[in-house]
Structure 1
């Protein structure tokens, strides 16, 4: 099957309700048995067919009643209102796992495991992040606010740095891990406090994570 030629590269930040060592990354049951969270991406380089996606931003909210692989979830895409109509359409299709080889990206998997796809929202997305410093501040209209910071060891000693390395992963190969908190009031509500935070440079195309 021929897919639209697309590529997206940019810095991504996310927060879910799991503990700092997110079990999903290790093929285990989520910390609380279910999965709720969001991710946001600022595209530094990208296109969808002839549509330039550089400088665009989008977010994805998701929730499953159990582990992701059991399905029955819901998801909602939010595209920055500054995007053009063509950019909006492109980002929505990519974030919803379209124009992608089967199981090649986490977006494809998320969509396959969701029974409910809520209407896409178009809202201003303000995002500032530093991957190496594990910091982030996100505001999406008046419906979502999120912050990220380095993990602080309970016994003191300052910031703790840890990374997850997944060769052949469908979302990233290396991600920085920290602490994040998120409040969201959309079709999917979030109230996350000091739970799993994730920072990484995302590189996706129709065949999955681009290497190099």
Structure 2
């Protein structure tokens, strides 16, 4: 008998990068979505590099995911729109598992997507490349998402990190900025060069304890 989606164990360890239209560091990290984005609304792309992961019996290690997010106001009020690009190397079981994780159906850490996303614009297989060169991170999804972010240097050139937060992505968020943030996807045409960005080491699980 097949295990219902919301009861399948899953986990993802890796790194997440995100670039949004906020002019300075995203206030959602500290306000937990209770403070409006700097422009009053949020438009963002995100990349996830899965270093280790599984969905049920399926190994999803080594795969990448790209996301497009649109939030009309306060993050905590919901009514989000979202879309996903799944690594074309994913087999059918891995693809289905990742869709369940990133729509919130799999519950756990990303279960909030099931509550906050009112419209899932769709998912597509695509060549999703997540590269690290020096301190720069790049996400390339064909011509749909072309992004590069770098940490904002602090004292003595060290990264600035907001630590011990209760942010859903992870407790420690590295403050970054986009050197390139271009989205041409699902009717959206965005350019967020020089805008807010984040780097986060992720350790997500589901559905237990969430």
Specify if TM > 0.5: yes
Is residue 205 of structure 2 the alignment partner of residue 198 of structure 1?
Answer: no
CA contact (8 A) 1:182 1:192 kept: yes
Moved more, 52-61 or 160-169: 160-169
> What is the aligned partner in structure 2 of residue 164 from structure 1?
162
1:139-158 matches, within 5 Å, as 139-151=140-152
Aligned counterpart, 1:109: 112
Q: Residues 45 and 183 of structure 2 are in contact (CA less than 8 Å); yes or no, is this contact kept in structure 1?
A: no
| 51 and 118 in structure 1: CA distance in 2 versus 1, 3 angstrom threshold | same
TM, length-normalised to structure 1: 0.85
**Partner Cα distance (1:59, 1:34) in 2:** 20
Shift of 1:13: 1.1
How many pairs were matched up?
Answer: 201
Q: Name the CA shift for 1:158/1:209 in 2 (closer, same or farther; >3 Å).
A: farther
Structure 2 spans left out of the alignment, 5+ residues:
none
Show the 5 A alignment for 1:37-186. Answer: 37-101=44-108, 105=109, 107-129=110-132, 134-151=135-152, 159=157, 161-180=159-178, 181-186=180-185
| Residues in 1 aligned to 2:191 and 2:208: alpha-carbon distance in whole angstroms | 31
> In 2, distance between residues paired with 1:33 and 1:125?
30
Deviation at 1:47, TM superposition (A): 0.6
- Matched residues in 1 for 2:132 and 2:187: separation? 23
Alpha-carbon distance in 2 for matches of 1:159, 1:32:
29
Alpha-carbon distance between aligned partners in 1 of 2:187 and 2:37, rounded to the nearest angstrom: 18
**CA shift for structure 1 position 83:** 1.0
User: What SS class does the counterpart of residue 83 from structure 1 fall into?
Assistant: coil
CA deviation after TM superposition for structure 1 residue 38, in Å: 1.6
Contact 2:22 2:195 in 1 (8 A): yes
CA distance in 1: counterparts of 2:198 and 2:156, whole angstroms: 19
| Cα separation, 1, equivalents of 2:83 and 2:194 | 23
What does residue 21 of structure 2 align with? 17
> After the TM superposition, which parts of structure 1 deviate over 6 Å for at least 4 consecutive aligned residues?
none
Where 2:98 maps in the other structure, the secondary structure is helix
Q: Is the 8 A contact 2:106 2:207 kept in 1?
A: no
Calculate the aligned-residue CA RMSD, in Å: 2.5
Q: Which runs of 5+ in 1 are unaligned?
A: none
* Alpha-carbon distance change, 176 to 201 in structure 1, aligned in 2, over 3 angstroms: same
